[in-house]
Amino acid sequence: DADVTQTPRNRITKTGKRIMLECSQTKGHDRMYWYRQDPGLGLRLIYYSFDVKDINKGEISDGYSVSRQAQAKFSLSLESAIPNQTALYFCATSERGSGANVLTFGAGSRLTVL
Amino acid sequence: KQEVTQIPAALSVPEGENLVLNCSFTDSAIYNLQWFRQDPGKGLTSLLLIQSSQREQTSGRLNASLDKSSGRSTLYIAASQPGDSATYLCAVFAGTYKYIFGTGTRLKVLA
């Protein structure tokens, strides 16, 4: 099994629908992140969480919300999806106290909003 | 504001060539720099991490160098193979939570 698992892997939805992307990890890492990848723009940080009670906005949090249900689970919600949220979404983890802060990524969730 | 640039955006080479991928960044105040590989439909896999105090790291046919003063890192791939075809991204870690990613170089190695 993958260290960081994202579900669903692919989702097509319509404008205005609520969507949840889920992420679970078996790394035992404290820190979890949600990134968005768009062609030509690189990865951009949506939200990050350093533990269950510590959730922070990243550079592009508008239109998104998150929930850290447990140390191992971090979900991303789009309350009312819009077409410009069509993108590849990645969950990542890293270990607190590790000076290198190496990121471990999930396989990605491709979201298409029609 | 930290910016990370990768040039070229795409590269096509014949099998067996040695090649260099470039990554430049505008602010030398970084903790480390990571090189990732991304395959279509898959996540990012960390290839090499260079701490700010280091000059280079090696793993198999891969060698990454870091020159903080000039804001540059290179990823050297020796004896390229078709299986090396992927997108390669660099990312600088500016501390706490902040990773800044480049847009990647899409590499195709022709058999």
Q: Which amino acid is at B27?
A: D
Q: Do B45 and A105 touch (CB under 8 A)?
A: yes
CA angle, residues A27, A70, A3, in degrees to nearest 5? 20
Q: Do A33 and B97 touch (CB under 8 A)?
A: yes
Longest dimension (CA), chain A: 42
A42 interaction partners in chain B (CB closer than 8 Å): 4, 89, 101-104
Closest CA–CA distance from residue B45 to any residue of chain A (Å): 7
| pLDDT at position A100 over 70 | no
Q: Select the highest-mean-pLDDT range: A45-59, A94-108, B31-45.
A: A45-59
Q: Which residues contact A52 (CB under 8 A, 6 or more apart)?
A: A68, A69, A70, A71
Closest CA–CA distance from residue A6 to any residue of chain B (Å): 10
Is A114 an 8 Å CB contact of chain B?
no
A66 interaction partners in chain B (CB closer than 8 Å): none
Mean pLDDT of A87-102: 82
Is B75 an 8 Å CB contact of chain A?
no
Mean pLDDT of A33-59: 93
| Predicted local distance difference test score (pLDDT) of residue A97 | 62
Task: Give A4-25 pLDDT, tens digit per residue.
Answer: 999 999 999 999 999 999 999 9
